[in-house]
Amino acid sequence: MKLEKLLIYIFDKLNTVHNDFKSLYNGYEKDGEGYPFLAVLYNPTSIQYSKEIVWIDSGDRTNELRQKQYDMIKFKKLTMQLFFDFTMDSSKSFEDYFNFFELITTECIRFNKREDGGDSTRGDSSENKIYRPPTLYISWGKNKNKIPHALDGGVYIVVKIYWSYKMFDRDGNVLRATADITFEEIREDGMNEESNKERRVSAGHRMIANSMKKSLKG
C-alpha cells in the first residue's frame, strides 16, 4: 500500500509572484493546474485542531442564560509538528524544505488595492501593488474524511512557524530539525481573525480553491 504524504499547495499563480521569488516558486513540483506543492518528508504524528466560539457579557442579570451573548465563531486553526531527518538520505537537503516554508511566510504574492476597499490581482499601477504571503491548501490522501473537520478542504495561511535544529554535520549543515507550524483558515470574505490588517483573498482564489478540491478528489 502506497504511503500518502501530506501535501501543502501554494494557491497563487506564477503571474502574481514577485520577480525575486519566481525561480524559487518554479523549483517545486506542480500539479496539473500548475500549482506548486511540497510533500512533507515525514507525515505529522499529531495535528491539533482548534475552533473558538466567542461569547460576550450581555450585562443582563435578570436571567443566567441571558448573561452571555453569542458574538462570533472564529475560524479554525491547525497546528502540526513536522520532523526532518537527513542522516540516512543525502538526495534531499534541509534547504529544500526550509526554502518552501520561507516562501509561504514571505510577502511575495502581488495583489492590488481598489478604491472600494476590495482587492484585485489585476492592474499595472505600481503604486497600488502590495504583497502578502501565499494562501495554501493542505491535502492528505484522497479520503478527505480521514481527519474530520480539520483537513476538510479549507484554504489556509501560516500564522506562526517555529524551527528547532536538532543535529548538524561537521560543516554546520542541518541534519535533523522540527518545525511547529500553525495554519489558520481564511474567512470566505478573506478576513483573517488574527491579523489587524485586512488580508483578503480574491474571488479568483475561491474559484481556484473549488477547482482544486475537485481535481484532488479525482
Torsion of CA 137, 139, 144, 146, to 10 degrees: -130
Kindly state the average pLDDT of the residues 101-128: 66
pLDDT at 187: 56
Among 107-116, 138-147, 151-160, the range with the most confident prediction by mean pLDDT is 151-160
Q: Which residues have C-beta within 8 Å of that of residue 211, sequence separation ≥ 6?
A: 33
pLDDT at 155: 84
Res. 182: pLDDT tops 90: yes
Residue 10 domain flag: yes
88-97, 103-112, 194-203: range with lowest mean pLDDT: 194-203
pLDDT grade for 166, boundaries at 50, 70 and 90:
very high
Q: Which residues have C-beta within 8 Å of that of residue 138, sequence separation ≥ 6?
A: 6, 7, 8, 9, 78, 151, 154, 156, 183
Residue 112 domain flag: no
Res. 140: pLDDT tops 80: yes
Residue 145 domain flag: yes
Name which of 190, 161, 192 is nearest 178 in CA terms: 161
Locate 94 and state its grid cell.
534541509
Q: Which residues have C-beta within 8 Å of that of residue 170, sequence separation ≥ 6?
A: none
Helix and strand element counts for the chain (H, E): 3, 12
Distance CA 75, CA 192 (A): 8
Percentage of residues in the chain having pLDDT higher than 90: 38
Distance CA 176, CA 165 (A): 6
Res. 207: pLDDT tops 50: no
pLDDT at 195: 42
Residue 122 domain flag: no
13-22, 168-177, 198-207: range with lowest mean pLDDT: 198-207
Kindly state the average pLDDT of the residues 99-107: 94
Residue 29 domain flag: yes
Residue 115 domain flag: no
* Gap between the terminal Cα atoms of the chain: 19
Res. 206: pLDDT tops 80: no
Main-chain dihedrals φ then ψ at residue 4, nearest 5 degrees: -85, 125
Kindly state the average pLDDT of the residues 115-137: 64
Which is more confidently placed, 165 or 1? 165
Looking at residue 143, the DSSP 8-state letter turns out to be -
Q: Which residue has the cell 476590495?
A: 118
CB–CB of 215/32 below 8 Å?
A: yes
- Counted domains in the chain: 1
pTM over 0.75: no
pLDDT at 116: 45
Kindly state the average pLDDT of the residues 53-58: 82
Which is more confidently placed, 2 or 39? 39
pLDDT grade for 57, boundaries at 50, 70 and 90:
confident
- Its domain, for residue 169, covers 6-58+73-106+134-217
